[in-house]
Amino acid sequence: MWSADFMSDTLWNGLRFRTFNVEDDFNCETLHIEFDTSITSERLVQNFERLQSDRGLLQVLRSDNGP
Protein backbone atom coordinates (compact mmCIF):
# COMPACT_ATOMS: atom_id res chain seq x y z
CA MET A 1 0.00 0.00 0.00
CA TRP A 2 1.21 3.47 -0.87
CA SER A 3 0.26 6.72 0.86
CA ALA A 4 0.10 10.05 -0.95
CA ASP A 5 -0.21 13.42 0.75
CA PHE A 6 0.26 17.14 0.17
CA MET A 7 2.05 19.35 2.65
CA SER A 8 2.72 23.09 2.57
CA ASP A 9 4.78 25.64 4.43
CA THR A 10 6.07 29.19 4.11
CA LEU A 11 9.69 30.26 3.79
CA TRP A 12 11.19 33.07 5.87
CA ASN A 13 10.59 35.50 2.96
CA GLY A 14 6.87 34.69 2.78
CA LEU A 15 7.05 32.42 -0.27
CA ARG A 16 4.66 29.52 0.12
CA PHE A 17 5.64 26.10 -1.21
CA ARG A 18 3.96 22.72 -1.44
CA THR A 19 5.22 19.17 -1.37
CA PHE A 20 3.59 16.03 -2.70
CA ASN A 21 4.88 12.88 -1.00
CA VAL A 22 4.39 9.23 -1.96
CA GLU A 23 5.44 6.55 0.52
CA ASP A 24 5.45 2.77 0.47
CA ASP A 25 3.84 1.90 3.82
CA PHE A 26 4.93 -1.76 3.78
CA ASN A 27 8.63 -1.04 3.22
CA CYS A 28 8.66 2.30 5.10
CA GLU A 29 10.25 3.88 2.04
CA THR A 30 9.73 7.30 0.50
CA LEU A 31 9.12 6.74 -3.21
CA HIS A 32 8.80 10.32 -4.39
CA ILE A 33 8.81 13.91 -3.13
CA GLU A 34 7.71 16.68 -5.47
CA PHE A 35 8.09 20.27 -4.27
CA ASP A 36 7.31 23.60 -5.90
CA THR A 37 5.22 26.72 -5.41
CA SER A 38 2.50 25.06 -7.52
CA ILE A 39 1.97 21.40 -8.39
CA THR A 40 -0.38 20.68 -11.29
CA SER A 41 -2.48 17.58 -11.76
CA GLU A 42 -0.55 16.90 -14.98
CA ARG A 43 2.68 16.65 -12.97
CA LEU A 44 1.01 14.30 -10.48
CA VAL A 45 -0.12 12.00 -13.29
CA GLN A 46 3.41 12.02 -14.77
CA ASN A 47 4.87 11.13 -11.37
CA PHE A 48 2.45 8.22 -10.86
CA GLU A 49 3.14 6.96 -14.39
CA ARG A 50 6.89 7.03 -13.68
CA LEU A 51 6.39 5.22 -10.37
CA GLN A 52 4.22 2.63 -12.10
CA SER A 53 6.88 1.96 -14.74
CA ASP A 54 9.62 1.73 -12.06
CA ARG A 55 7.71 -0.18 -9.37
CA GLY A 56 4.75 -1.82 -11.10
CA LEU A 57 1.05 -1.20 -10.72
CA LEU A 58 0.03 -0.58 -7.12
CA GLN A 59 -3.00 -2.25 -5.57
CA VAL A 60 -3.93 0.39 -2.96
CA LEU A 61 -3.31 4.15 -2.77
CA ARG A 62 -4.26 5.87 0.48
CA SER A 63 -4.88 9.62 0.73
CA ASP A 64 -6.57 11.31 3.68
CA ASN A 65 -7.70 14.56 1.96
CA GLY A 66 -7.40 16.28 5.34
CA PRO A 67 -5.64 19.40 6.56
Give the whole-angstrom CA distance, residue 22 versus residue 10: 21
Q: Minimal CA–CA distance to 7: which of 47, 31, 34? A: 34
Q: What's the pTM?
A: 0.79
Give the whole-angstrom CA distance, residue 49 versus residue 67: 26
Mean pLDDT across the chain, nearest whole number?
90
State which residues of the chain have pLDDT below 70.
Answer: 66-67
Give residue-wise pLDDT tens across range 12-22.
999 999 999 99
pLDDT at 67: 65
